């Protein structure tokens, strides 16, 4: 459960990063694609993604954040208990694990933790 909470926190914080970056813009919420682009840029810098990894990570982030956004839009049960959300988060994690090196994946986990700590 703590892994799921960490991933959910990462998503929420990634949304916050995008929202903060657009503070001067009209109050329209960022699209999942915009959130994915901002997150991919941050990952590119912090994890030192290779040029070959960037489009792969971008696609994984876009797919995951689009799916998560759709699940959130449906509402219903508490998000932490939503099995489809957990499945989407697991798919996101598995996708990134397949593209990132061990060191980069460890860095991704540290990024998640830092964003979680920052939120608290």
Mean pLDDT of all residues in 19-42: 81
Residue 1: predicted pLDDT: 52
Structure tokens at 47: 């994890």
Q: At CA 34, angle to CA 118 and CA 96, rounded to 5? A: 70
In terms of C-beta distances under 8 Å and separation of at least 24 residues, what long-range contacts does 81-87 make, across chains too? 85/4, 85/8, 86/4
Among 56, 103, 64, 100, residue whose Cα is nearest residue 84: 64
Q: Which residue has the tokens 């996708």?
A: 95
Residue 84: predicted pLDDT: 84
Flag whether the pTM goes above 0.85.
Answer: no
Residue 118: predicted pLDDT: 86
More confident site: 84 or 24: 84
Structure tokens at 13: 């914080």
């Amino acid at each position: 459960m703590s892994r799921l909470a960490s991933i959910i926190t990462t998503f929420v914080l990634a949304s916050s990063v995008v929202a903060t970056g657009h503070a001067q813009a009209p109050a329209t919420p960022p699209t999942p694609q915009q959130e994915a682009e901002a997150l991919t840029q941050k990952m590119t810098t912090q994890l030192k993604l290779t040029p070959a990894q960037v489009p792969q990570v971008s696609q994984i982030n876009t797919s995951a954040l689009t799916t998560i956004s759709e699940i959130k839009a449906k509402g219903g049960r508490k998000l932490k208990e939503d099995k489809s959300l957990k499945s989407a988060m697991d798919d996101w994690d598995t996708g990134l694990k397949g593209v990132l090196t061990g060191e980069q994946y460890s860095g991704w986990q540290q990024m998640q933790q830092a964003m979680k700590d920052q939120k608290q």
